[in-house]
Amino acid sequence: MCRAPALSTPLSWRHTGAVRITVWVRPGSARPGVGGERNDALVVRVSARAVDGKATEAALATVAAAFGVRRRAVTLVAGASSRTKILDVEGAEPATLSRLLADAGAHPGAHPGAGPGQT
């Protein structure tokens, strides 16, 4: 039986082979990408504005690229109109999530516990 470890991360393993993650989308970002953590969610920065689902679609594509999977491997589970979303990522490696969460320190002006743009 595969059980998720007791981690304080936006991650759960599922018997389907998907990794379920919680993401926080920052639309209109000048520096699109994935990395860092905000309120126990993986931060996804997209340049698209939050209009007509464009930021959500951009976030799904950005997450797919970050995990090295095809776009169709990323499914929106909840949060279509919210900045906080729950996604299933088929074929994702949990180690990739750990690396992406740790990337917060790689951004100028970031410090532990700060969300993007907070110093």
Which burial class, exposed, middle or buried, applies to 37 when counting CB atoms under 10 A from its CB (0-12, 13-18, 19+)?
Answer: buried
Q: In Å, how far from its chain's centre is CA 47?
A: 15
pLDDT of residue 112: 38
Q: In residues, how long is the chain? A: 119
Ramachandran angles phi, psi of 81, nearest 5°: -110, 20
Digitized pLDDT (tens) for each residue of the chain, 119 residues in all: 344 444 444 555 555 678 899 999 999 999 999 988 898 899 999 999 999 999 999 999 999 999 999 999 999 999 999 999 999 999 888 788 788 878 764 443 333 344 444 43
Dist. CA 108–CA 64, nearest whole Å = 24
**pTM reported for the whole predicted model:** 0.73
Q: Going from the N-terminus, what domains does the chain have, and what CATH number goes with each? A: 11-104 (3.30.1200.10)
What 3-state class would DSSP assign to 108? Answer: coil
